Amino acid sequence: MALEDASKQIDMAFTRNDLKGPSFELTFGGATSFLRRKYTKDLTGVDIAVTGVPFDQAVTNRPGTRLGPRAIREASALQAPDAPYGWDFDVLSEFAIADYGDLAFDYGHVSQFPAALQAHIKGILDAGVASVVLGGDHYITFPILKAYAEKYGPISLLQFDAHTDTWPDDDMDRIDHGTMFYKAVKSGIVDPKTSVQVGIRTTNEDTLGVTVIDAREVHEQGPIATVERIKSILSNNPTYLTFDIDALDPAYAPGTGTPVWGGLTSAQCASMLRDLAGINIMGGDIVEVSPPFDTTGATAIAGAHVATEILSLLGHRMRTT
């Protein structure tokens, strides 16, 4: 059946009429929407919208993440024909998922970017749709969190990262991918008592009350114990999941701007993301994939898998609530 369908399907990003089901289009051909979902700006009947934010003007080291959404979409074609592995349901068949395209913004007016992104996400949430965002550098999570907090109130943050991104910065207008969660906590949009940062391996002594599970602890305690601890902290609070690809060790994800050795493995992250099923996740993002430094495409592939796991976590929440 799959081979027969593959011979008939092409450019499913534009030609498919439905929002559910796998795509058997040739992985090496056709238009590259995320997981071959339909490109549309019409959110009628949509459960989850995948959207790209090609912004990297807040980086402190290597640029290139503006090209991340495109690379993640291309890498996701490998997964489009199959139900996501390790789940007891197929989010692609049970839920209406659309590729909402990218955020439009003027790269020459960087100061206008945060408001444009917040409004973009607000429009998705106001339509009753959850968002999965493809970055882009990690600053983008700050305007996204503002939109989510506007809808849900102070939200719990589950952050996979090499860096806490909570370095002091009281200038709320400053655009920096290393200080935005400091501002998110200080401005009250993130509840630090019910938030967790996983995979950290850089020094920042003031945790602002956020629980830090560093990479060494994950290695020593293992994914199962780590997830149990995460769930105990998040409880049933509305949660936003942000995954910086540099949470992975550079051996698994070299294509990123600020790589740090001693990181998490792909296997650890795959296990943890699947075992997080049951958290009250409202949305999520995958950020800091930088294709210019991703010589084999492994980083974009990892990013596509992370985004697919976030989709599955959202689907799990939707089917049980």
DSSP string, 74-119: HHHTTTTTSPPTT-SS-HHHHS-EEEEEEPP--TT-GGGHHHHHHH
Encode pLDDT of 266-304 as tens digits.
Answer: 999 999 999 999 999 999 999 999 999 999 999 999 999
Residue 247 binned pLDDT confidence (cut-offs 50, 70, 90): very high
Cα–Cα distance, 168 to 262 (Å, whole number):
25
Residue 8 binned pLDDT confidence (cut-offs 50, 70, 90): confident
What are the backbone angles phi and psi of residue 133, rounded to the nearest 5°? -105, 135
For residue 196, the model assigns a pLDDT of 98
Q: Provide the 3-class DSSP secondary structure of residue 286.
A: strand
The pLDDT of residue 139 is above 60: yes
Of the chain, the percentage scoring pLDDT greater than 70 comes to 99
Q: Give the residue-averaged pLDDT of 236-256.
A: 98
Cα–Cα distance, 192 to 207 (Å, whole number):
9
The pLDDT of residue 226 is above 70: yes
Q: What is the pTM of this model?
A: 0.97
Q: Give the residue-averaged pLDDT of 5-13.
A: 85
Residue from 306, 318, 240 nearest 273 by CA: 306
In 10 A of CB 15, how many CB atoms? 12
The pLDDT of residue 4 is above 70: no
State the SS3 of 34-80.
Answer: HHHCEECCCCCCCCEEEEEECCCCCCCCCCCHHHHHHHHHHHHCCCC
Encode pLDDT of 79-110 as tens digits.
Answer: 999 999 999 999 999 999 999 999 999 999 99
In 10 A of CB 93, how many CB atoms? 12
255 prior amide bond cis, ω within 30 = no
Residue 6 binned pLDDT confidence (cut-offs 50, 70, 90): confident
For the chain, the average pLDDT equals 96
Residue 234 CA: distances (Å) to CA of 65, 76, 99, 157, 181: 29, 29, 29, 8, 17
Q: Provide the 3-class DSSP secondary structure of residue 294.
A: coil
Domain ranges in the chain are 2-320
Class of the domain covering 2-320: alpha beta
Q: Give the residue-averaged pLDDT of 246-257.
A: 98
The pLDDT of residue 133 is above 60: yes
- Least confident stretch, 3-7, 89-93, 218-222: 3-7
What count of Cα atoms within 13 Å lies in the side-chain half-sphere of residue 158?
27
What is the DSSP-derived secondary structure letter of residue 8? Answer: T
Residue from 230, 242, 236 nearest 271 by CA: 230
Question: Which residues are paired to 317 by β-bridges?
Answer: none
Contact 35, 22 (CB under 8 A): no
Spatial CB neighbours of 98, under 8 Å, sequence gap ≥ 6: 19, 37, 38, 39, 40, 43, 46, 48, 49, 50
The pLDDT of residue 3 is above 60: no
Question: Which residues are paired to 157 by β-bridges?
Answer: 240
Residue 166 CA: distances (Å) to CA of 3, 173, 178, 180, 285: 50, 15, 7, 7, 18
Encode pLDDT of 143-191 as tens digits.
Answer: 999 999 999 999 999 999 999 999 999 999 999 999 999 999 999 999 9
The pLDDT of residue 1 is above 60: no
CB burial of 20-41 (b: ≥16 within 10 Å; e: otherwise) equals bebbbbebeebbbbbbbbbbbe
